[in-house]
């Protein structure tokens, strides 16, 4: 087995394939060809995609509304901090058809959601445990390596905090967005930022099931 089938040698056109595997998958395959090349091949038959660079505040419902435009979604699995069980900026989407996962990469990669460019990649298939961050602090490794401040992804990265500014208050508090002085323009109708989650997955349900959870004094208007 070799990576030649994924490396473009002859350039007889001016465009790049939109469903081409990311450099991340290719690097993994080069480091460990026996497993990596199989994962690359599986990713083109899998109905699963990986989405990175999400805001910690982005909800499953927002993700569903965007991605159901390219295909029927079976399940959304949110990435969680392995210690706090809070969203940490990535997710997996399992479609009912692998062609829909290819279309998601083709047409929605680098799309903006919550003012952030989504990084969408083919995935060989979700396995239990991959929904948790692999960083030493529980989140994603990429956030620990950051030196800049990213309000949508927990504030400063670990590298910055462990420098010579330990006396600064650089912790991002979800409570700041849920008090009476919220001037951010962000609506919080769902789970509070920083709260523990009961589940890491979202399965689309019909409107009747959703209406069962609405208080009796709220009128439901069909559109």
Report which of residues 87 and 147 the model is more confident about.
87
Confidence of residue 219 (pLDDT cuts 50, 70, 90): low
Residue predicted with more confidence, 9 or 84: 84
On average, the pLDDT of the chain sits at 74
Question: Residue 212's pLDDT is what?
Answer: 56
39 touches 124 (CB < 8 A): yes
**Of 49 and 192, the one with more pLDDT:** 49
pLDDT interval class at 209 (50, 70, 90)? low
Bridge partners for 77 per DSSP: 92, 201
CATH superfamily of 3-123: RRM (RNA recognition motif) domain (3.30.70.330)
Strand-pair partners of 119:
52
Q: Quote the pLDDT of residue 74.
A: 96
Helices (H), 79-221: 98-108, 141-144, 158-161, 207-211
Beta-carbon contacts of 35 under 8 Å, excluding residues fewer than 6 positions away, are none
Question: Would you say residue 161 has pLDDT above 90?
Answer: no
> Quick one: average pLDDT of 206-221?
52
pLDDT digits (tens, 9 = 90+) for 115-142: 999 999 999 889 898 889 877 777 777 7
Local confidence band at 15 (pLDDT 50, 70, 90 cut-offs): low
* Lookup: tokens for 7: 């490396």
Percentage of the residues of the chain whose pLDDT score is greater than 90: 32
Q: How far apart are CA 204 and CA 63, in angstroms?
A: 11
Statement: the pTM of the whole predicted model exceeds 0.85: no
For the segment 159-165, the average pLDDT, to the nearest whole number, is: 50
| pLDDT single digits (tens) 82-99 | 898 989 999 999 999 999
pLDDT of residue 156: 60
C-alpha 92/C-alpha 94 separation (Å) is: 7
Residue-range domain boundaries for the chain: 3-123, 141-194
Segment (H or E) for 212: none
Q: Cβ neighbours of residue 159 under 8 Å, at least 6 residues apart? A: 144, 145, 146, 147
pLDDT value at position 158?
61
């Amino acid at each position: 087995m070799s990576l030649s089938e994924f490396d473009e040698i002859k350039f007889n056109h001016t465009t790049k394939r939109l469903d081409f595997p990311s450099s991340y998958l290719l690097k993994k395959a080069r480091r460990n060809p026996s497993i990596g090349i199989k994962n690359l091949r599986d990713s083109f038959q899998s109905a699963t995609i990986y989405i990175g660079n999400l805001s910690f505040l982005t909800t499953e419902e927002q993700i569903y509304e965007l991605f159901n435009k390219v295909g029927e979604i079976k399940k959304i699995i949110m990435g969680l901090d392995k210690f706090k069980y809070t969203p940490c900026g990535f997710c997996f989407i399992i479609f009912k058809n692998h062609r829909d996962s290819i279309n998601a990469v083709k047409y929605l990669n680098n799309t903006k959601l919550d003012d952030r460019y989504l990084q969408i990649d083919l995935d060989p298939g979700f396995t239990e445990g991959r929904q948790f961050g692999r960083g030493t602090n529980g989140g994603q490794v990429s956030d620990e390596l950051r030196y800049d401040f990213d309000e949508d992804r927990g504030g400063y990265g670990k590298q910055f905090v462990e420098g010579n500014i330990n006396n600064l208050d650089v912790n991002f508090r979800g409570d700041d967005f849920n008090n009476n002085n919220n001037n951010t323009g962000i609506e919080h109708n769902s789970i509070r930022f920083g709260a523990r989650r009961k589940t890491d997955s979202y399965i689309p349900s019909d409107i009747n099931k959703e209406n069962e959870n609405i208080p009796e004094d709220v009128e439901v208007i069909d559109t």
